[in-house]
């Protein structure tokens, strides 16, 4: 009888501890998301790190940590976390979307192309990698590839002006100014704020490089 | 999966992995003894005689296909320098303009392969004349392409090559739609600078897959060097030093990559499992150890060229280019495995060889790769036996151990003028 009691108590401790741990990781993830929404990046990173420590295999925690590090401009750490997430599931699109953007903003265009290309292989209807591929190829002066990727991104997300602008500057790079102007006008039709030169500065938040923003501003000047 | 099933799978995996890589054979292999090897070469030598090459006795007819297949293979192995051998082969090539039965065509095609081999070591006028005639008159675009390629290897001038290309373009207005003609002419007329090797070393074809790089000199008689990047993107090391492995990709017939039995095409291949050995029937050609199975991008039979997606690569040439780093996509030579798979080259493997390196006469011309045997498209690993038939040295066990018991990943063959040390330095600097 005493043995039964001991075993029962032990079992209770084990099961309770397990559920507490799982709950804590989820709690920390939730906390991380909330802090991140408030742009309190150090607190958000701290929370995600605790979540990952408690539940290493949880992809949401790892991707959340990587993405928050990216937003906090701690790019190398972000890339490291996201790279180490791949072995847990090499078919998870969110990992590669986040990793590709981190590479792109970091200026590592080759790895950005690799990560986003794999994303497109995982899902042909995933608009994020096509848009980012368009930006990466434009920076590599591979305008044919930039145009093809930009077309697909705009097709998948016609109500977002960013793919249209990416496509327009790709045409501009290729020397097709007629198409570049037409497509840029399409972006303005979707969101009239992009008819204003200063608004184009916000494109940096959408992973456009300073040179690409400048190209977009020059293009805008030709149609006004 | 319950625990019992897990244990069963684990047990099965251990059992299979222990079967797939046999230990170095302590017992002698009868086919590898000096006595067996002398007998084997004598069997080939015995086939070489003026009577055997007599076309009045053995005309190129369906019923003589077996005779010519055996004799032409013996010719490739022995490379006899007697004039009657070349005369007979040149005589067979006079048939290239004619309408032939399938059996006759197979004999003529094999004669073209052996003619290329003989011509590249000694470009005699009788063979040259038949290659020129094939370009001028044969309706078979592949034979025309093979002839152009052979003439180019035999020291043709740029002017001559251009004349033949013009002639081909007149005879075959749609030459660019024929893979043999397109790839041969494209290669002869394009001088492409190799893009940065560093881009290729850093590039991930597909995440979480190992990548076996095989760097070759443009002269495939030189040994290539393989380096392995593991699933995490790190290059494999051995006691702190970069792991590497010499492999030979030379074609016995000195044929280009874009012809059947030609040397290993550059480009990307899927690594998908192994083919078990030993099998005494195939010991001589493929050695004692399992063969690593490779698939060209468009080669049927692959389970998943891209993990998670059944079958061959899709998306045509752009789909293949997307597997390459941006700076390599327009570099024509790296597209070779794509084109080779498209026109039907298949069954590329990494394997050893049970043949004595002295078996192939033309090995003597390549002392820089002494010990390795040529192949007909595969990547050949060192495998040597002593006079009693016991294995002396074999590289396949190390390759198989590094790749894992059921290997998957990608192999990339690249020609680069860089030395293996220079490539290793680039890897170390990543």
CB spacing of B208 vs A113 below 8 angstroms: no
Does the beta carbon of A103 lie under 8 angstroms from any beta carbon of chain B? no
Nearest Cα neighbor of B193 from B23, B290, B327, B301 is: B327
Please give the Cα distance from B74 to A181 (Å, whole number).
68
pLDDT at residue B190, as a whole number:
87
Are the CB atoms for B224 and B379 separated by under 8 Å? yes
Q: How far B209 CA lies from chain A's nearest CA (Å)?
A: 9
Please give the Cα distance from B197 to B203 (Å, whole number).
10
Q: Can you give the residue range of the structural domain that contains A216?
A: 142-224
Is there a single domain that holds both residue A153 and residue A106? no
Residue A10 lies in a domain: no
Nearest Cα neighbor of A32 from A58, A82, A68 is: A68
Of A96, A110, A117, the CB nearest to B322: A117
Query: Please, where are the H alpha helices in B31-101?
Result: 34-47, 65-78, 83-93
pLDDT at residue B26, as a whole number:
55
Please give the Cα distance from B84 to B90 (Å, whole number).
10
Is there a single domain that holds both residue A111 and residue A177? no
Share of chain B above pLDDT 90, in %: 85
Q: How far B307 CA lies from chain A's nearest CA (Å)?
A: 9
Helix (H, G, I), strand (E, B) or coil at B406: coil
Q: Which residues pair with B385 in a beta bridge?
A: B391
Give the HSE-up count for residue B99: Cα atoms under 13 Å, Cβ half-sphere. 0
Is there a single domain that holds both residue A103 and residue A197? no
State pLDDT tens for residues B30-64: 888 999 999 989 989 999 999 999 999 999 999 99
pLDDT at B114 > cutoff 70 = yes
pLDDT at residue B15, as a whole number:
41
Non-local (6+) Cβ contacts of B389 within 8 A are: B28, B29, B30, B31, B32, B33, B36
Is there a single domain that holds both residue A97 and residue A160? no
Q: Is the ipTM of this complex over 0.85?
A: no
State both tokens at B115.
């003619």
Does the beta carbon of A122 lie under 8 angstroms from any beta carbon of chain B? yes
Of B207, B306, B307, the CB nearest to A86: B207
Interface test with A, best of B203, B205, B317, B326 (most A CBs within 10 A): B326
CATH of the domain at A158: 1.25.40.10
Does the beta carbon of A135 lie under 8 angstroms from any beta carbon of chain B? no
Backbone angles phi, psi at B356, to 5 degrees: -65, 130
Residue A1 lies in a domain: no
CB spacing of B206 vs A140 below 8 angstroms: no
The CA-based angle B25-B263-B182, given to 5 degrees, is 155
Non-local (6+) Cβ contacts of A110 within 8 A are: B199, B202, B203, B325, B326, B327
CB spacing of B309 vs A121 below 8 angstroms: yes
pLDDT at residue B191, as a whole number:
85
pLDDT at residue B14, as a whole number:
39
State pLDDT tens for residues B315-358: 999 999 999 999 999 999 999 999 999 989 999 999 999 889 98
Does the beta carbon of A143 lie under 8 angstroms from any beta carbon of chain B? no
Residues of chain B found within 8 Å of residue A87, distances taken between Cβ atoms: 208, 231-232
CB spacing of B208 vs A87 below 8 angstroms: yes
Please tell me which residue of chain A has the smallest CA distance to B307: A91
Please give the Cα distance from B36 to B43 (Å, whole number).
10
Provide the b/e sequence for B310-337 (b: ≥16 CB within 10 Å). Answer: eebbeeeeebbbbbbbbbbbebebbbbb
Of A114, A120, A122, the CB nearest to B204: A114
Residues of chain A found within 8 Å of residue B326, distances taken between Cβ atoms: 109-110, 113, 137, 140, 142, 145
Backbone angles phi, psi at B271, to 5 degrees: -90, 125
Share of chain B above pLDDT 70, in %: 93
Non-local (6+) Cβ contacts of A121 within 8 A are: B206, B306, B309
State both tokens at B29.
């292999």
Interface test with B, best of A87, A98, A118, A149 (most B CBs within 10 A): A118
CB spacing of A113 vs B306 below 8 angstroms: no
Angle between helices B65-78 and B83-93 (to 10 degrees): 130
Is there a single domain that holds both residue A115 and residue A146? no
Is there a single domain that holds both residue A99 and residue A48? yes
Residue written as token pair 């038949």: B130
CB spacing of B202 vs A145 below 8 angstroms: no
Q: How far A142 CA lies from chain B's nearest CA (Å)?
A: 8
pLDDT at B6 > cutoff 70 = no
Please give the Cα distance from B314 to A16 (Å, whole number).
51
Domain tally, chain A: 2
Does the beta carbon of A91 lie under 8 angstroms from any beta carbon of chain B? yes
Does the beta carbon of A81 lie under 8 angstroms from any beta carbon of chain B? no
pLDDT at B1 > cutoff 60 = no
Task: Please say which residue of A124, A155, A180 terminates a domain.
Answer: A124
B306 secondary structure, DSSP code: B
State pLDDT tens for residues B259-278: 999 999 999 999 999 998 76
Sign of the four-CA dihedral A156, A161, A163, A165: positive
Does the beta carbon of A93 lie under 8 angstroms from any beta carbon of chain B? no
Residue A192 lies in a domain: yes
Residues of chain B found within 8 Å of residue A115, distances taken between Cβ atoms: 204, 207
For residues B384-398, give the mean pLDDT: 94
**How many other C-beta atoms can be found within 10 angstroms of the C-beta atom of residue B78?**
18
pLDDT at residue B11, as a whole number:
41
Are the CB atoms for A110 and B325 separated by under 8 Å? yes
Q: Which residues pair with B309 in a beta bridge?
A: B306
Are the CB atoms for B315 and B329 separated by under 8 Å? no
Residues of chain A found within 8 Å of residue B323, distances taken between Cβ atoms: 117
pLDDT at residue A210, as a whole number:
96
Q: How far A8 CA lies from chain B's nearest CA (Å)?
A: 24
pLDDT at B17 > cutoff 80 = no
CB spacing of B207 vs A118 below 8 angstroms: yes
Q: How far B176 CA lies from chain A's nearest CA (Å)?
A: 22
State pLDDT tens for residues B150-166: 999 998 999 999 999 99
Nearest Cα neighbor of B50 from B23, B91, B85, B21 is: B85
Does the beta carbon of A107 lie under 8 angstroms from any beta carbon of chain B? no
> Model confidence at B192, in pLDDT bands (50, 70, 90)?
confident
CB spacing of A110 vs B326 below 8 angstroms: yes
Residues of chain A found within 8 Å of residue B325, distances taken between Cβ atoms: 110, 113-114
Please tell me which residue of chain A has the smallest CA distance to B314: A121
Does the beta carbon of A104 lie under 8 angstroms from any beta carbon of chain B? no
The CA-based angle B130-B132-B136, given to 5 degrees, is 110
Is there a single domain that holds both residue A149 and residue A115? no
Residues of chain B found within 8 Å of residue A79, distances taken between Cβ atoms: none
CB spacing of B326 vs A117 below 8 angstroms: no
What is the rounded average pLDDT for all residues in chain A? 90
pLDDT at A17 > cutoff 50 = no
Burial class (CB in 10 A: 0-12, 13-18, 19+), B360: buried
Residue A16 lies in a domain: no
Sign of the four-CA dihedral B290, B355, B294, B238: positive
Does the beta carbon of A137 lie under 8 angstroms from any beta carbon of chain B? yes
pLDDT at A19 > cutoff 70 = no
Nearest Cα neighbor of B384 from B32, B9, B38 is: B32
What is the rounded average pLDDT for all residues in chain B? 92
Does the beta carbon of A59 lie under 8 angstroms from any beta carbon of chain B? no
Pairing of strands B348-351, B379-380: parallel
pLDDT at residue B332, as a whole number:
95
Task: Respond yes or no on whether the N-terminal peptide bond of residue B278 is cis (omega within 30° of 0).
Answer: yes
State pLDDT tens for residues A26-85: 999 999 999 999 999 999 999 999 999 999 999 999 999 999 999 999 999 999 999 999
Does the beta carbon of A41 lie under 8 angstroms from any beta carbon of chain B? no
Please give the Cα distance from B53 to B88 (Å, whole number).
6
Query: Please, where are the H alpha helices in B275-419?
Result: 283-286, 316-321, 336-342, 396-403
C-alpha distance from residue A125 to each of A101, A122, B84, B383 (Å): 18, 9, 65, 49
Provide the b/e sequence for B132-158 (b: ≥16 CB within 10 Å). Answer: bbbbeebebbbbbbbbbbbbbbbebee
Q: Between the CA atoms of B175, B177, B183 and B189, what dihedral angle is there, to the nearest 10 degrees?
A: 50
């Amino acid at each position: 009888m005493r043995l039964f009691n001991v075993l029962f108590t032990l079992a209770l401790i084990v099961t309770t501890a397990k559920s507490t741990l799982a709950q804590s990781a989820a709690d920390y993830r939730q906390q991380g998301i909330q802090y991140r929404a408030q742009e309190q990046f150090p607190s958000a990173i701290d929370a995600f790190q605790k979540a990952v420590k408690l539940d290493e295999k949880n992809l949401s925690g790892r991707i959340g940590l990587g993405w928050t590090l990216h937003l906090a401009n701690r790019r190398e750490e972000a890339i490291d976390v996201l790279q180490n997430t791949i072995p847990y599931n090499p078919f998870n699109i969110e990992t590669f979307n986040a990793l590709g953007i981190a590479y792109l903003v970091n200026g590592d265009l080759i790895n950005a192309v690799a990560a986003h290309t794999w994303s497109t292989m995982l899902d042909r209807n995933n608009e994020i990698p096509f848009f980012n591929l368009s930006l990466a190829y434009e920076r590599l002066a591979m305008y044919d590839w930039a145009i093809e990727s930009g077309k697909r991104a705009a097709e998948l997300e016609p109500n977002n002006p960013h793919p249209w602008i990416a496509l327009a500057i790709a045409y501009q790079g290729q020397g097709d100014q007629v198409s570049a102007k037409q497509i840029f006008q399409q972006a303005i039709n979707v969101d009239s704020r992009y008819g204003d030169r200063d608004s184009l500065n916000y494109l940096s938040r959408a992973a456009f490089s300073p040179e690409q923003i400048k190209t977009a501003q020059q293009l805008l000047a030709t149609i006004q | 999966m319950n625990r019992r099933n897990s244990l069963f799978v684990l047990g099965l995996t251990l059992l299979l992995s222990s079967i797939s890589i046999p230990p170095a054979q302590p017992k002698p292999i009868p086919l590898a003894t000096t006595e067996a090897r002398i007998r084997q070469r004598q069997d080939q030598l015995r086939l070489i005689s003026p009577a055997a090459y007599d076309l009045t006795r053995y005309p190129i007819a369906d019923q003589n296909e077996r005779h010519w297949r055996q004799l032409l293979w013996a010719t490739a192995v022995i490379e006899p320098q007697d004039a009657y051998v070349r005369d007979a082969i040149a005589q067979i090539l006079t048939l290239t303009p004619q309408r032939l039965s399938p059996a006759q065509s197979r004999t003529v095609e094999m004669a073209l392969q052996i003619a290329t081999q003989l011509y590249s070591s000694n470009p005699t006028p009788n063979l040259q004349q038949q290659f020129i005639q094939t370009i001028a008159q044969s309706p078979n675009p592949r034979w025309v392409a093979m002839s152009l390629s052979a003439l180019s290897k035999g020291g043709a001038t740029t002017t001559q090559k251009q004349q033949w290309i013009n002639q081909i373009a007149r005879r075959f207005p749609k030459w660019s739609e024929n893979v043999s003609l397109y790839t041969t002419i494209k290669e002869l007329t394009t001088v492409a600078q190799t893009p940065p090797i560093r881009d290729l070393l850093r590039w991930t074809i597909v995440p979480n897959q190992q990548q076996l790089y095989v760097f070759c000199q443009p002269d495939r008689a030189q040994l290539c060097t393989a380096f392995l990047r593991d699933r995490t993107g790190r290059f494999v090391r051995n006691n702190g030093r970069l792991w590497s492995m010499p492999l030979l990709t030379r074609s016995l017939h000195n044929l280009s990559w874009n012809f059947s039995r030609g040397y290993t095409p550059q480009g990307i291949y899927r690594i998908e499992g192994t083919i078990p050995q030993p099998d005494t029937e195939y010991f001589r050609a493929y050695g004692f150890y399992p063969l690593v199975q490779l698939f060209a991008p468009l080669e049927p039979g692959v389970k998943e060229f891209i993990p998670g997606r059944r079958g061959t690569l899709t998306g045509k040439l752009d789909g293949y280019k997307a597997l390459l780093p941006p700076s390599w996509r327009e570099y024509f030579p790296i597209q070779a495995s794509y084109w080779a798979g498209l026109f039907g080259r298949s069954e590329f493997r990494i394997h050893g060889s049970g043949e004595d390196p002295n078996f192939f006469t033309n090995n003597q011309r390549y002392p820089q790769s002494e010990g390795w045997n040529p192949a007909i498209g595969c990547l050949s690993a060192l495998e040597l036996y002593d006079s009693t038939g016991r294995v002396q040295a074999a590289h396949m066990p190390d390759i198989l151990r590094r790749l894992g018991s059921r290997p998957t990943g990608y192999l990339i063959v690249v020609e680069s003028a860089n030395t293996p040390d220079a490539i290793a330095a680039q890897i170390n600097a990543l």
